[in-house]
Structure 1
Amino acid sequence: MSVQLLRRLFTVDQYYKMLEAGVLKENERVELIRGEIVKMSPIGIHHAACVDRINELFFLRLAKTVTVRVQNPVRLNDNSEPEPDIALLQRRPDFYRTQHPQPEDVFLLIEVSDTTVKYDQEVKIPLYAENNIVEVWLVNLTQKCLEVYRQPTANGYEIVQTFKSGEIVSIQALPNVTFTVDEILGD
């Protein structure tokens, strides 16, 4: 006999009410995924350095053409608001002061993974595809490669490419701007 556990799923609005009420702390490392409040892994040294490196690369090459957000929420739907490591967004004069970015605002989301590769591949990336995020990069620090996901469908991404050291990648929305995998990984 199997036991079925009942789960209480939350909306983004309920999630913010918990923050306002003090049930969740402002600096608590959690995100809302498919209605569940998920504790995020601690940020390790290599992970932090990679996020900083990518942020600087984007700042230097894309300044004033896009908005780059680091580890801030993107509202995918009414029950998911993840915090990707990097979000490359359409530029808005208010810098999203009145609402978090939504899928139509996103050019690219990046997840940097060392200890969370499987979770990112099996949970977050399919969630991004379901919500029509046009492009996702998974910086796989353990395998020293960059996984690029494009053309979202309800069942995942139609195009999945893996780039390794020495190879060049561009952002689908900005094809004239290129990066080497070595620049992304820092090798």
Structure 2
Amino acid sequence: MRRRWTVAEIEALVRAGIIDEHERFELIGGEIVPMNAKGIHHELLKNSLNLHFATTIPGAFRFAVETTFRLDEDSFIEPDFIFFRKADGLANLNPRTALLAVEIADYSLKWDLGRKARIYANFGVPELWVVEAVSRVVHVRRRPGLEGYDEVAKVSEDQPLVSTAVPGLSVTLSTLEAI
């Protein structure tokens, strides 16, 4: 038999020590979905992007790294980066205040471009970047709808990647400082 969980129940299980706070999973429609392990390419790129974003983000915006992004009462995901307006703040982060999600895919490309991208789109997150950790090709998704994102593009590592949801945010992956 399957059991549908809520975000509140999962948080209570973590507080009680029943689920380890470092266990990697997401809650999708009440179902616990294990997350893939992170490879070294994922971690190197995440740290380089973190340094870049922290030093170049326009002042009106902020981002969180690997935060629990609560979508509704029975769903949360953990994007590598999630961007929002400074005025909204992290405490008010939800699908209506999120502007851009960035996922780094080492072993999770199929999931990130498939079901997870549809989840972001269904909750109305305006822009999604899925970065292939090894090739550094970026799959850009914009204009969310019920069936996913209506605008789909690929950007190579030597092309500038410019956000439409976070004005002034850009990166060219080939120029990132190595960590």
TM-score by length of 1: 0.86
Alignment counterpart, residue 78 of structure 1, candidates 73, 78, 88: 73
1:54 aligns with 2:49: yes
- 1:51-95 Cα offsets, whole Å, 9 max, x none, are 111111111111643221111111112211101001111214864
Equivalent position SS for 1:37:
strand
Question: Structure 1: where are the runs of 5+ without partners?
Answer: 1-5
Indicate conservation of the 8 Å contact 2:62/2:86, yes or no: yes
Equivalent position SS for 2:76:
coil
Partner of 2:170: 178
Highest relative contact order (Cα 8 Å, sep 6+), 1 or 2?
A: 2
Alignment counterpart, residue 135 of structure 1, candidates 127, 132, 135: 127
Indicate conservation of the 8 Å contact 2:100/2:166, yes or no: no
Partner of 1:18: 13
Partner of 2:27: 32
Of stretches 108-117 and 62-71 in structure 1, the one that deviates more from structure 2 is 62-71
Root mean square deviation of aligned Cα: 2.1
Partner of 2:154: 162
How many angstroms apart in 1 are the aligned matches of 2:131 and 2:172? Answer: 12
Structure 1 letter corresponding to 2:9: Q
How many angstroms apart in 2 are the aligned matches of 1:93 and 1:121? Answer: 28
Partner of 1:3: none
Query: How far does residue 161 in structure 1 lie from its aligned partner after superposition?
Result: 0.4
- 1:111-148 Cα offsets, whole Å, 9 max, x none, are 10011101111221110000001100000124430000
Structure 1 letter corresponding to 2:160: I
For residues 184 and 9 of structure 1, do their structure 2 counterparts lie closer, same or farther at Cα, with a shift above 3 Å needed?
farther
TM-score by length of 2: 0.89
Partner of 1:113: 105
Indicate conservation of the 8 Å contact 1:141/1:185, yes or no: no
Percent identity for Structure 1 against Structure 2: 29
How many correspondences in the alignment? 178
Structure 2 letter corresponding to 1:127: I
Indicate conservation of the 8 Å contact 1:67/1:92, yes or no: no
How many angstroms apart in 2 are the aligned matches of 1:184 and 1:157? Answer: 27
How many angstroms apart in 1 are the aligned matches of 2:76 and 2:149? Answer: 20
Query: How far does residue 176 in structure 1 lie from its aligned partner after superposition?
Result: 3.6
Equivalent position SS for 1:75:
strand
Max Rg structure:
1
